[in-house]
């Protein structure tokens, strides 16, 4: 919604195609054609691939992928955490926890390596149970009150140096804005500035750090 509003209110108008997946990118004489899941063709001079942890359109092995598991409890208004701090341990696999505004706990982690693309529902269910047990251990006084009301899992991409892949790829005029790593949101902000500077020919010391062609 936020992105949609940004684009709709931008001073120079662009087309926005919602619920449209780019399946394939092909080079043409003058640029590129991006082919959608509806087989529509979008012609352009440059491409920015900003597909989050869907890595289908970039080279394999640039970004590794794990699967991260999350549970969300019922509201527990009596449970207090000092300053509503984010809590994270340094175990392997790790866990993190945060109180939501409606007093539910979001508790996640237990990452597993993603072998291929498919999420294994059996493994996911085991992980949700494990998260629930660990959470009850953390708050023994609340163990009989804690219920899991939502659970989900998804991909989590990372690089060896924990920086995103932002800038021109090894394919001329194809740019990546892949904001992987534990600080993905910060990478995304840095990325917007990096791409802006690259397109307007300004120097930016972050360009080599985030370059998709850097050696890690
Ligand atoms: C479990 C988990 C915990 C995280 N915790 C943190 C944290 O604590 N701190 C932090 O900084 N970051 C964290 N991150 C990372 C952060 O969420 C991401 O880095 C950030 O959301 C990336 O933003 P983005 O706009 O690049 O991609 P996204 O928000 O993923 O957007 C990508 C968009 O591209 C679309 N798309 C995908 N493929 C295609 C295609 N082929 N064609 C067209 N559209 C496509 C998707 O539908 C999506 O709308 C976490 C991520 C996960 C999964």
Distance CA 88, CA 39 (A): 44
Ligand 1 centroid–CA 145 distance in Å is 33
pTM of the entire structure?
A: 0.87
Distance CA 82, CA 28 (A): 58
Residues with CB under 6 A from ligand 1: 21-22, 50-52, 54, 57, 68, 108, 154, 156, 179, 183-186, 188
Instruction: Identify the domain containing residue 210 by its residue range.
Output: 47-63+160-216
Give, for ligand 1, the residue of 38, 50, 52, 72 to mutate: max count of ligand atoms closer than 8 Å to Cβ. Answer: 52
Last residue of a domain, one of 158, 176, 194: 158
Whether residue 69 sits in one domain with residue 54? no
Ligand 1 centroid–CA 53 distance in Å is 6
- Residue 89 CA, chain-centre distance (Å), reads 21
User: From the alpha carbon of 186, which atom of ligand 1 is closest?
Assistant: 11
Give the model's pLDDT for residue 171.
Answer: 96
Could you give the number of structural domains in the chain? 3
Distance CA 55, CA 117 (A): 10
The parts of the chain modelled with pLDDT lower than 50 are none
Whether residue 51 sits in one domain with residue 31? no
Whether residue 53 sits in one domain with residue 37? no
User: From the alpha carbon of 180, which atom of ligand 1 is closest?
Assistant: 19
Ligand 1 centroid–CA 154 distance in Å is 10
Whether residue 211 sits in one domain with residue 200? yes
Whether residue 112 sits in one domain with residue 53? no
User: From the alpha carbon of 22, which atom of ligand 1 is closest?
Assistant: 42
Count CB-CB contacts under 10 A for residue 175: 22
Give the model's pLDDT for residue 117.
Answer: 64
Q: Which residue's CA lies nearest to atom 27 of ligand 1?
A: 52
Whether residue 41 sits in one domain with residue 3? yes
Q: Which residue's CA lies nearest to atom 5 of ligand 1?
A: 182
Ligand 1 centroid–CA 52 distance in Å is 4
Whether residue 98 sits in one domain with residue 179? no
CATH number at 99 reads: 3.30.9.10
Ligand 1 centroid–CA 56 distance in Å is 14
Give the model's pLDDT for residue 152.
Answer: 97
pLDDT tens digits for range 156-181: 999 999 899 999 999 999 999 999 88
Strand, coil or helix: 45: coil
Whether residue 35 sits in one domain with residue 8? yes
pLDDT tens digits for range 38-56: 999 999 999 999 999 999 9
Whether residue 137 sits in one domain with residue 121? yes
**196, 139 contact by CB (below 8 A):** no
Last residue of a domain, one of 158, 178, 206: 158
């Amino acid at each position: 919604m936020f992105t949609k509003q940004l684009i709709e209110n931008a001073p120079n108008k662009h087309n926005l195609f919602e619920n449209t997946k780019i399946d394939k990118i092909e080079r043409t004489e003058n640029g590129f054609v991006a082919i959608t899941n509806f087989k529509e063709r979008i012609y352009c001079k440059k491409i920015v691939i900003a597909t989050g942890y869907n890595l289908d359109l970039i080279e394999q092995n640039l970004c590794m992928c794990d699967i991260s598991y999350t549970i969300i409890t019922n509201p527990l208004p009596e449970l207090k955490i000092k300053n509503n701090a984010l809590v994270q341990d340094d175990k392997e696999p790790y866990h993190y926890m945060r109180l939501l505004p409606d007093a539910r706990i979001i508790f996640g982690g237990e990452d597993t390596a993603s072998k291929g693309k498919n999420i294994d529902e059996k493994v996911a269910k085991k992980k949700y149970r494990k998260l629930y047990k660990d959470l009850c251990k953390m708050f023994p006084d609340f163990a009989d009150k804690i219920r899991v009301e939502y659970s989900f899992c998804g991909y989590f991409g990372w690089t060896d140096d924990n920086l995103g892949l932002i800038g021109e790829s090894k394919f001329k005029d194809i740019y990546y804005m892949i904001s992987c790593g534990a600080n993905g949101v910060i990478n995304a902000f840095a990325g917007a500035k990096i791409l802006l500077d690259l397109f307007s020919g300004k120097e930016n010391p972050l360009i080599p750090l985030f370059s998709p062609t850097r050696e890690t």
